[in-house]
Amino acid sequence: MKILVDADACPVKDIIVRIAKSQDIPVIMIIDTAHELNDGYSTVITVDQGRDSANLAIMKQLAKTDIVVTQDFGLAALVLGKGARAINQNGLVYTDANIERLLFERFLGQKVRRSGGRTNNPKKRTKEDNERFEAAFVRIIEEK
Protein backbone atom coordinates (compact mmCIF):
# COMPACT_ATOMS: atom_id res chain seq x y z
CA MET A 1 0.00 0.00 0.00
CA LYS A 2 1.05 3.55 -0.74
CA ILE A 3 -0.68 6.90 -0.51
CA LEU A 4 -0.88 9.09 -3.60
CA VAL A 5 -1.76 12.74 -3.09
CA ASP A 6 -3.07 15.24 -5.62
CA ALA A 7 -1.01 17.74 -3.68
CA ASP A 8 -1.27 21.14 -5.39
CA ALA A 9 -4.23 22.42 -3.39
CA CYS A 10 -4.30 19.75 -0.68
CA PRO A 11 -4.65 21.37 2.77
CA VAL A 12 -3.97 18.16 4.73
CA LYS A 13 -0.53 17.16 3.46
CA ASP A 14 0.97 17.45 6.95
CA ILE A 15 -1.69 15.13 8.42
CA ILE A 16 -1.14 12.61 5.63
CA VAL A 17 2.63 12.58 6.16
CA ARG A 18 2.37 12.33 9.96
CA ILE A 19 0.02 9.34 9.84
CA ALA A 20 1.81 7.59 6.95
CA LYS A 21 5.18 8.03 8.61
CA SER A 22 3.90 6.59 11.90
CA GLN A 23 2.67 3.49 10.02
CA ASP A 24 5.62 3.29 7.61
CA ILE A 25 3.42 3.78 4.53
CA PRO A 26 5.09 5.37 1.49
CA VAL A 27 3.62 8.67 0.26
CA ILE A 28 3.86 10.08 -3.25
CA MET A 29 2.91 13.74 -3.63
CA ILE A 30 2.08 14.86 -7.17
CA ILE A 31 2.52 18.59 -7.83
CA ASP A 32 2.79 20.75 -10.91
CA THR A 33 5.68 23.02 -11.82
CA ALA A 34 4.01 26.04 -10.16
CA HIS A 35 4.55 24.47 -6.73
CA GLU A 36 7.44 23.31 -4.58
CA LEU A 37 7.27 20.69 -1.88
CA ASN A 38 9.76 18.97 0.37
CA ASP A 39 8.39 17.49 3.58
CA GLY A 40 11.36 15.22 4.24
CA TYR A 41 9.30 12.02 3.90
CA SER A 42 7.30 11.91 0.69
CA THR A 43 8.48 11.16 -2.79
CA VAL A 44 7.54 14.21 -4.86
CA ILE A 45 6.71 13.93 -8.55
CA THR A 46 6.51 17.20 -10.44
CA VAL A 47 4.40 17.32 -13.61
CA ASP A 48 3.59 19.94 -16.23
CA GLN A 49 0.80 22.41 -15.51
CA GLY A 50 -1.49 20.76 -18.05
CA ARG A 51 -5.10 20.18 -17.08
CA ASP A 52 -4.88 16.48 -16.30
CA SER A 53 -1.12 16.09 -15.80
CA ALA A 54 -1.37 15.28 -12.08
CA ASN A 55 -4.26 12.88 -12.65
CA LEU A 56 -2.34 10.99 -15.33
CA ALA A 57 0.74 10.77 -13.09
CA ILE A 58 -1.36 9.42 -10.22
CA MET A 59 -3.02 6.82 -12.44
CA LYS A 60 0.39 5.66 -13.70
CA GLN A 61 1.53 5.05 -10.11
CA LEU A 62 -1.75 3.54 -8.87
CA ALA A 63 -2.11 -0.03 -7.63
CA LYS A 64 -5.26 -1.68 -6.33
CA THR A 65 -4.04 -1.52 -2.72
CA ASP A 66 -3.38 2.24 -2.80
CA ILE A 67 -5.22 5.21 -1.33
CA VAL A 68 -5.56 8.47 -3.27
CA VAL A 69 -6.25 11.81 -1.61
CA THR A 70 -7.93 14.19 -4.06
CA GLN A 71 -10.65 16.81 -4.41
CA ASP A 72 -11.16 15.82 -8.04
CA PHE A 73 -14.32 13.75 -8.53
CA GLY A 74 -13.19 12.64 -11.98
CA LEU A 75 -9.90 11.30 -10.64
CA ALA A 76 -11.74 9.63 -7.77
CA ALA A 77 -14.00 7.85 -10.26
CA LEU A 78 -10.95 6.55 -12.15
CA VAL A 79 -9.35 5.39 -8.90
CA LEU A 80 -12.50 3.51 -7.89
CA GLY A 81 -12.62 1.95 -11.35
CA LYS A 82 -9.15 0.50 -10.73
CA GLY A 83 -10.32 -1.00 -7.42
CA ALA A 84 -8.31 1.38 -5.23
CA ARG A 85 -9.65 3.74 -2.54
CA ALA A 86 -10.05 7.52 -2.66
CA ILE A 87 -10.78 10.18 -0.04
CA ASN A 88 -11.06 13.97 -0.16
CA GLN A 89 -9.50 16.58 2.12
CA ASN A 90 -12.65 16.78 4.26
CA GLY A 91 -12.83 13.06 5.00
CA LEU A 92 -15.38 12.11 2.34
CA VAL A 93 -14.55 8.58 1.25
CA TYR A 94 -15.48 8.19 -2.39
CA THR A 95 -17.47 5.02 -3.09
CA ASP A 96 -19.39 3.43 -5.91
CA ALA A 97 -22.53 4.55 -4.04
CA ASN A 98 -21.70 8.30 -4.06
CA ILE A 99 -19.44 8.96 -7.05
CA GLU A 100 -22.15 9.21 -9.70
CA ARG A 101 -24.06 11.82 -7.69
CA LEU A 102 -20.88 13.81 -7.10
CA LEU A 103 -19.98 13.74 -10.80
CA PHE A 104 -23.50 14.84 -11.71
CA GLU A 105 -23.37 17.73 -9.21
CA ARG A 106 -20.02 18.78 -10.67
CA PHE A 107 -21.54 18.72 -14.17
CA LEU A 108 -24.46 20.89 -13.04
CA GLY A 109 -22.12 23.40 -11.40
CA GLN A 110 -20.02 23.62 -14.56
CA LYS A 111 -23.16 24.14 -16.63
CA VAL A 112 -24.31 26.99 -14.35
CA ARG A 113 -20.89 28.69 -14.49
CA ARG A 114 -20.67 28.36 -18.29
CA SER A 115 -24.01 30.11 -18.64
CA GLY A 116 -22.79 33.02 -16.51
CA GLY A 117 -24.24 31.90 -13.19
CA ARG A 118 -22.46 31.61 -9.90
CA THR A 119 -21.99 28.69 -7.57
CA ASN A 120 -21.12 28.77 -3.88
CA ASN A 121 -17.49 29.15 -2.89
CA PRO A 122 -16.07 26.53 -0.55
CA LYS A 123 -16.32 27.34 3.16
CA LYS A 124 -13.22 28.41 5.05
CA ARG A 125 -11.33 25.39 6.37
CA THR A 126 -11.77 24.65 10.07
CA LYS A 127 -10.05 22.58 12.73
CA GLU A 128 -13.07 20.26 12.62
CA ASP A 129 -12.47 19.66 8.89
CA ASN A 130 -8.94 18.50 9.71
CA GLU A 131 -10.18 16.27 12.52
CA ARG A 132 -12.84 14.74 10.26
CA PHE A 133 -10.23 14.08 7.56
CA GLU A 134 -7.81 12.51 10.02
CA ALA A 135 -10.43 10.15 11.48
CA ALA A 136 -11.62 9.04 8.03
CA PHE A 137 -8.05 8.71 6.74
CA VAL A 138 -7.02 6.46 9.63
CA ARG A 139 -10.18 4.39 9.14
CA ILE A 140 -9.53 3.91 5.40
CA ILE A 141 -5.93 2.86 6.10
CA GLU A 142 -7.07 0.32 8.68
CA GLU A 143 -9.62 -1.13 6.22
CA LYS A 144 -6.90 -1.99 3.69
Residue 60 burial by Cβ neighbours in a 10 Å radius (0-12, 13-18, 19+)? exposed
Q: How many CB atoms lie within 10 A of CB 122?
A: 8
The whole-number pLDDT of residue 108 equals 62
From first to last of the 144 residues of the chain, give the pLDDT tens digit.
Answer: 999 999 988 999 999 999 999 999 999 999 988 778 889 999 999 999 878 899 999 999 999 999 999 988 889 999 999 999 999 999 999 998 888 767 667 556 666 667 777 767 677 889 999 999 999 999 999 986
The whole-number pLDDT of residue 31 equals 93
Q: How many domains does the chain have?
A: 1
Residue 22: domain span:
3-143
Q: What is the pTM of this model?
A: 0.85
Instruction: Categorise residue 59: left if φ over 0, alpha if ψ from -120 to 50, beta otherwise.
Output: alpha
Pairing state of beta strands 67-69 and 85-87? parallel
Angle between helices 53-61 and 73-81 (to 10 degrees): 20
The whole-number pLDDT of residue 59 equals 96
CATH assignment of the domain containing 51: 3.40.50
